Structure 1
Amino acid sequence: MASKKQVTTKLTRAARSKPLNGFKIVICGEYKDENHTHTSLAVLICANGGDTTKHIKSDTTHIFSTQAAFRSSQLIIEKAKGKGLPIIDTLWLIKAQCERTELSKYYLQRPSPKPYGTIEDSRNGKFERKLPLRAKGKEPEHSKPKDDHGLKEYRHTRGTSFKAVVKHNPKGILKGPDFVTPPEAKTRRHDIVKRVQNKKVGFVKNEKLFLAPPESTLPEPVKKLMKLIFNQTNGANATDGHRKNSTCYESHVSRLSLDWQKDLNLQAGFKYLIELEDFISNGDKKAIGYYNTLYHSVIRPEGRGKGPLIDNMKILKEEWERLSNVVHLPKRQFQDLNLKEMAPLDDDSEEFKYIKSYLNVSGGATHELKKVFRIEREGEGERFQAYISPLEHPIRRLLWHGSPVANYGRIIREGLQIGPDEVTASDYNFGKGICLFEMSSQAASYCDYKASEGEALLLLCEAALGYPLKKVTTPSNSAGANTETDSTCCQGKNAFKRFTEGSNKHVNFEGIKIPDTNFGPKPTKVQEAILDYNVFICHKAEQVKLRYLVHVKIPTQAPT
């Protein structure tokens, strides 16, 4: 019979051979370079004692990711960051073979620190900021309250049994006061509370009002998208052909006046305000002057004047609110769009992969795909369904539309509109209607992407073209006039020839005729065609439904 010591030794060896015991892991990213798939990695994890799931759950303990997936801010990564889950480079599993001594080298995000006692440094790492003892629920031994006639008779050896306790909210805001009354004092509670409130004891002396910067509740990809769409410099830089459509253009806007709203500047600004609160409380004039200089070097004042001297709590609170408004601005802008849905697609989903292949095969091979958002405008789906319901052959297609980023606030809020101003940068006129394209490169030419430093947004729209479809070969102002059809196709020299039912690729494409991206455009052999590719004009707004917003980076200079 084995001794107790031998059994313990066997258990210890078993634990060492299963280094992932207790790990509940979500795998993220692509592993072609390592000759692995998610399935093979899941087998490897199970062999080491771990367990895997496809989505983050309440019992998830770790995320295994590639560095590329971590930088791309996928939805899984954003959720993991929000929950403070540790994110580990999967090379620890593949190359380091789960060696615990090597784990620290492979952290992409370490486990989140405890919510109390420290705050993040805005530059590079952490600095310790110890909270006052009362904010941690402890009573300082040396603390003795001043005499107060309303509290005197309830004094005891550790101070007073009636005190203003400051609550600490994990988001960083202190809420005050929560009055704790001893049982023997209940009869006079109302009078005492009233006296204390009249003395304006909102916060215990020397308690911190500002502990950490506010955080936006929007997913990071959506926040970045809002900043791109509502960046006023994009409207200011727009060329003359596009500027009249820019809803956010202001002639006095300069890039310098908006640079302070970048995340790094805001983080530094909040840090300096937190430091200033200490120095204002202590009356340290030299430090106040020095940190004012630092603050105004990263945060520009409103207008063109000199920034205010932040030497009292009133001005400090005003500046804090000013920066907080900028942090929460993307959320307000998103709410103003009145969207029913905006969901960033997972880069590993089949939906994303098809859109990426459609972008590349339709002339966008030089475009860097940054993010795809599935969108739905409020009421637009019902309007589209009402239009196609009586049609025997609606012929639904997935087509591209392009416009400068400065226009997308209006487009997403109001939808694509029928009118001659919709096409502003084209040498051709196709009649009154909404122009849609088979080729992403055609749509990109309308984006004026040089005004936004190569950042461009393309729309993928579901369009009900109907049957029969009027076909023309020469662009003209009257292309859609005198026709009984709701759509016109201006034929090009090349077009997609092979199509497939959308549900073969993804359930969200069901009922849509989509190009087979295994085969590119082929010559149409239309002799009179002038355009290189087909252009479709929808003459009714209800024919078109916005489906996807595609964020791409387009080179502003031709490759040499």
Structure 2
Amino acid sequence: MMRSATRFGSDGDVLDIRGKQVWFRVVRIYAKRSYCSPQNSALKRTMNGDRKHFRKVAGKYDYLPADYSKLIGEQEKHEKAKKKPMPPSQLVECVQRLMKMICDIRAMEELVMELEYDATKAPLGKVTEEQVKAGYAALKRIENFIKKKEFSKEFVNAVNEYYTKIPHYFGMRQPPLIKTQEQIKVEISLLEALSDIEVAIRTLNVGENDLTINTLDRHYANMKCALDVVEAKDSRFEMVDKYLQTTHAPTHSHYRMRICNLFAVNKEGEKEKFIGNIGNRMLLWHGSRLTNWYGILSQGLRIAPPEAPMTGYMFGKGVYFADMSSKSANYCFPQKSKPGLLILAEVALGNQEKLLNADYNADRLPAGKHSVMGLGAMGPDPNGNLTLEDGCVVPYGQPIALEANKAQGCTLNYNEYVVYNTNQIRIRYLVEVDFIFDF
């Protein structure tokens, strides 16, 4: 299928109409020339006549392969499912609610549409890992032009290539040229979301024809991540709640958080791969949007691929954690009407490289170092630390000014902890919170 997502718009496409593939083009009714042949139109617009040996020509449309194999028999499958009653779920009620929340495809679509992704041209169910990586590679090329401040024809071609790989919808507006680091960061957010959603949808589809199991139970089983409810009277609940409330940063005072549900997490394979023997293990916060969590719980926290630009990763490509709950909660994008999800992970920090300023190449750790700590001006009082029976440290002391860090000229408000090996991470708790706004 040939389709365009360049800055110059699109005037032809293959549409799916009642299960049939139809070439569609708007033309003047008195036009003498026939436009009924998609092959002729595609040849004109791409300068390619054979998709098997397709080569992109500058200034011409690109070929975006679409996989329709999953559509075969899909309608019959849905009709069959409708006729058979759904078996009841075996999950406890709060886990059922959680699964509905993190498996919500419509919410995923709404998120990417907010980021101006065109889900009609490239439906989420058709997004592939290769497509996302191609988007990262195109964005990295744009970043190189921005760094050199070269906004030439080649730069415009690079932007067009990105919009082709990752279709956007701007309505009647002309697609903007991506000329700033801030714009790059927004596009990275989109690609990160698409990456997690791609994993989520691929995992959700496993065993979809098995009608003997409740859909939520199947999604839960596919996740390969056990979630056990921690009751409010449990000492672990009290510990997590204290950590949440005590380390809410003073600069994030426009909202408060309240725990709705707490789940102890046992992600399949994490315990066995965890390299806790490097020492300096801490229980730290990590937050993300609701739509990312099924992908995260299915595959674990992941590091940006080599294709991704460096922009947006203050200390290089790694997994970022905080000792202040609200610092991580801000990455949930708090709203009155929606709960948020954070995790508490046991992180093996080992020998830390401590930095005062951003360093995009910090992932190139010096010999003997295992992680990076970005030093903040405020953090939990170390005298208030709790050491658990297994030796993991919970930094839930009252926030204090860290004068030693300030004296050295630190530029961060709060500490950042970054690891570059996911085997240094073991997820221990999933925390569902309500956001309470006082205005």
2:318 to 417, 433, 444: 433
Q: Give the deviation of 1:502 after TM superposition.
A: 3.0
2:307 & 2:236 partners in 1: Cα distance? Answer: 29
CA shift in 2, pair 1:359/1:473, >3 Å: same
Whether the aligned pair in 2 keeps the contact of 1:492 and 1:524 (CA below 8 Å) is no
CA shift in 2, pair 1:423/1:415, >3 Å: farther
Q: Corresponding residue for 1:522?
A: 401
2:110 & 2:391 partners in 1: Cα distance? Answer: 41
Q: Give the deviation of 1:249 after TM superposition.
A: 5.8
Q: Corresponding residue for 2:260?
A: 370
2:346 & 2:314 partners in 1: Cα distance? Answer: 22
Q: Give the deviation of 1:482 after TM superposition.
A: 4.5
Q: Corresponding residue for 2:349?
A: 465
Whether the aligned pair in 2 keeps the contact of 1:246 and 1:406 (CA below 8 Å) is no
Q: Where do 1:288-299 residues align within 5 Å? A: none
Q: Corresponding residue for 1:42?
A: none
Whether the aligned pair in 1 keeps the contact of 2:347 and 2:426 (CA below 8 Å) is yes
Deviation by residue 1:61-98 (Cα, 9 ceiling, x = unmatched): xxxxxxxxxxxxxxxxxxxxxxxxxxxxxxxxxxxxxx
Q: Give the deviation of 1:329 after TM superposition.
A: 1.3
1:215 & 1:550 partners in 2: Cα distance? Answer: 26
CA shift in 2, pair 1:243/1:453, >3 Å: farther
CA shift in 2, pair 1:548/1:514, >3 Å: same
Q: Give the deviation of 1:501 after TM superposition.
A: 4.4
1:559 & 1:246 partners in 2: Cα distance? Answer: 33
Q: Where do 1:263-282 residues align within 5 Å? A: none
Q: Give the deviation of 1:422 after TM superposition.
A: 12
Q: Where do 1:315-326 residues align within 5 Å? A: none
Whether the aligned pair in 2 keeps the contact of 1:401 and 1:461 (CA below 8 Å) is yes
2:90 & 2:432 partners in 1: Cα distance? Answer: 21
Q: Give the deviation of 1:370 after TM superposition.
A: 0.6
1:489 and 2:368 matched: no
1:511 to 391, 395, 402: 391
1:218 & 1:422 partners in 2: Cα distance? Answer: 39
Deviation by residue 1:532-552 (Cα, 9 ceiling, x = unmatched): 100011011111111111111
2:304 & 2:220 partners in 1: Cα distance? Answer: 26
Q: Corresponding residue for 1:338?
A: 224
Whether the aligned pair in 2 keeps the contact of 1:400 and 1:459 (CA below 8 Å) is yes
Whether the aligned pair in 2 keeps the contact of 1:232 and 1:248 (CA below 8 Å) is no
2:345 & 2:264 partners in 1: Cα distance? Answer: 11
Q: Corresponding residue for 1:398?
A: 283
Equivalent position SS for 1:366: strand
What letter matches 1:333 in structure 2?
A: H
1:412 & 1:370 partners in 2: Cα distance? Answer: 19
2:297 & 2:410 partners in 1: Cα distance? Answer: 33
Q: Corresponding residue for 2:36?
A: none
What letter matches 2:243 in structure 1?
A: Y
2:433 & 2:371 partners in 1: Cα distance? Answer: 28
> Which gives a bigger RCO, structure 1 or 2 (Cα 8 Å, sep 6+)?
2
Q: Corresponding residue for 2:423?
A: 542
Q: Corresponding residue for 1:388?
A: 276
Whether the aligned pair in 2 keeps the contact of 1:420 and 1:433 (CA below 8 Å) is no
Pick the structure with greater CA Rg.
1
Whether the aligned pair in 1 keeps the contact of 2:197 and 2:292 (CA below 8 Å) is no
Q: Corresponding residue for 1:229?
A: 102
Q: Corresponding residue for 2:92?
A: 219
1:515 & 1:423 partners in 2: Cα distance? Answer: 32
1:422 & 1:356 partners in 2: Cα distance? Answer: 39
Whether the aligned pair in 2 keeps the contact of 1:470 and 1:487 (CA below 8 Å) is yes
Q: Where do 1:104-503 residues align within 5 Å? A: 214-238=87-111, 239-240=114-115, 241=186, 242-244=189-191, 245-246=193-194, 328-339=214-225, 341-363=226-248, 366-384=256-274, 387-389=275-277, 391=278, 394-419=279-304, 429-450=314-335, 453-467=337-351, 469-484=352-367, 485-496=369-380, 497-503=382-388
CA shift in 2, pair 1:440/1:388, >3 Å: same
1:473 & 1:456 partners in 2: Cα distance? Answer: 30
Q: Corresponding residue for 1:98?
A: none
CA shift in 2, pair 1:529/1:454, >3 Å: farther
Identity %: 26
Deviation by residue 1:383-420 (Cα, 9 ceiling, x = unmatched): 11xx233x3xx110000111111111111111111226
Whether the aligned pair in 2 keeps the contact of 1:430 and 1:478 (CA below 8 Å) is yes
Unaligned runs of 5+ in 2: 1-82, 116-185, 199-207, 250-254
CA shift in 2, pair 1:423/1:361, >3 Å: farther
Deviation by residue 1:186-237 (Cα, 9 ceiling, x = unmatched): xxxxxxxxxxxxxxxxxxxxxxxx9x98532111111111011011232122
Q: Corresponding residue for 2:182?
A: none
1:533 & 1:332 partners in 2: Cα distance? Answer: 40
What letter matches 2:438 in structure 1?
A: P
Deviation by residue 1:120-172 (Cα, 9 ceiling, x = unmatched): xxxxxxxxxxxxxxxxxxxxxxxxxxxxxxxxxxxxxxxxxxxxxxxxxxxxx
Equivalent position SS for 2:405: coil
CA shift in 2, pair 1:326/1:399, >3 Å: farther
2:387 & 2:296 partners in 1: Cα distance? Answer: 26
